[in-house]
Amino acid sequence: MKYQAILFDLDGTLTDPKIGITKSVQYALKRFNIIEPDLDKLIPFIGPPLVESFQEFYSLSKTEATAAVEYYREYFTESGMYENAVYPGIKDMLTKLAATGKELIIATSKPTVFSEQIIDHFGMSQFFKAIVGSHLDGSRIHKTEIIAFILSELPHVARERIIMVGDRKHDIIGALNNGIDSIGVSYGYGGLAELQQAGPNYIAASVSELDKLLSR
């Protein structure tokens, strides 16, 4: 492929964080006396900014949602961060891409500090030129502004040679808003219909398909 710089979402793209994220949300909701026994109902929290999801899905006020994010982090930093797994084939793909001189960068709405710990925990730090996420104070949470910041750090790479890879509409919309191409991965948590509606340049149904797309 023509791309020199490849931006990767983290949750649902490189790793499967379902258990850790949904248990962290469950813990936070319990602090508001909201009991949600079904972790599958909390899957929509994977990907978008948490403060917005607490408001959208459980009608918390902005103040309550901000507090919920703090409760979420209590569980997440203790154990939820590591209730996670790298998708099979990801490390092999990253190894090949790095060996060909591609600039690989994490672009996630998860706070940078947690993203760095997760990438390090799974032994993938050596693949990435940078890990760019949100700030703990709740700023820079949208994918559009995260990608915009990354592009400002890549003045030597033309935009047509940069691509974003992610599993949710937010990844694709963020890429479109910044004038770069995108790949939607339907093996993650957005699903095929959400991705098709967002309009990526390519869709990969598996890590193997993603590998072939990025390697060709």
H or E element at residue 86: strand 85-86
pTM of the model: 0.94
**Nearby residues of 80 by Cβ (< 8 Å), 6 or more positions away:** 19, 20, 21, 23, 24, 27
Which percentage of the chain shows pLDDT scores above 90? Answer: 98
If asked whether residues 115 and 73 sit together in one domain, one would say: no
Give the end of a domain, one of 44, 66, 82.
82
Q: Give counts: helices (H), strands (E), the chain.
A: 9, 8
Q: Give catalytic residues, as residue numbers.
A: 9
H or E element at residue 87: none
Burial label for 152, CB within 10 Å (0-12, 13-18, 19+), is exposed
If asked whether residues 131 and 54 sit together in one domain, one would say: no
> Is the CB of residue 172 less than 8 Å from the CB of residue 198?
yes
Count how many domains the chain has: 2
If asked whether residues 68 and 103 sit together in one domain, one would say: no
Give me the CATH number covering residue 119: 3.40.50.1000
If asked whether residues 105 and 31 sit together in one domain, one would say: no
If asked whether residues 104 and 158 sit together in one domain, one would say: yes
Give me the CATH number covering residue 51: 1.10.150.240
Q: What is the predicted pLDDT for the residue at 216?
A: 82
Which pLDDT band holds residue 141 (cuts at 50, 70, 90)? very high
If asked whether residues 196 and 99 sit together in one domain, one would say: yes
If asked whether residues 112 and 182 sit together in one domain, one would say: yes
Farthest CA pair distance, the chain: 52
If asked whether residues 9 and 25 sit together in one domain, one would say: no
**How far is it, in rounded angstroms, from Cα 151 to Cα 166?**
17
If asked whether residues 63 and 98 sit together in one domain, one would say: no
If asked whether residues 55 and 140 sit together in one domain, one would say: no
Average pLDDT over residues 168-184: 98
Mean model confidence pLDDT for the chain: 97
**How far is it, in rounded angstroms, from Cα 182 to Cα 86?**
21
If asked whether residues 106 and 74 sit together in one domain, one would say: no
Quick: pLDDT tens for 28-63.
Answer: 999 999 999 999 999 999 999 999 999 999 999 999
Average pLDDT over residues 194-216: 96
- The domain containing residue 163 runs over which residues? 5-16+84-215
* Alpha helices (H) along the chain: 18-30, 50-58, 62-78, 90-99, 112-121, 143-152, 169-177, 191-198, 207-215
If asked whether residues 75 and 116 sit together in one domain, one would say: no
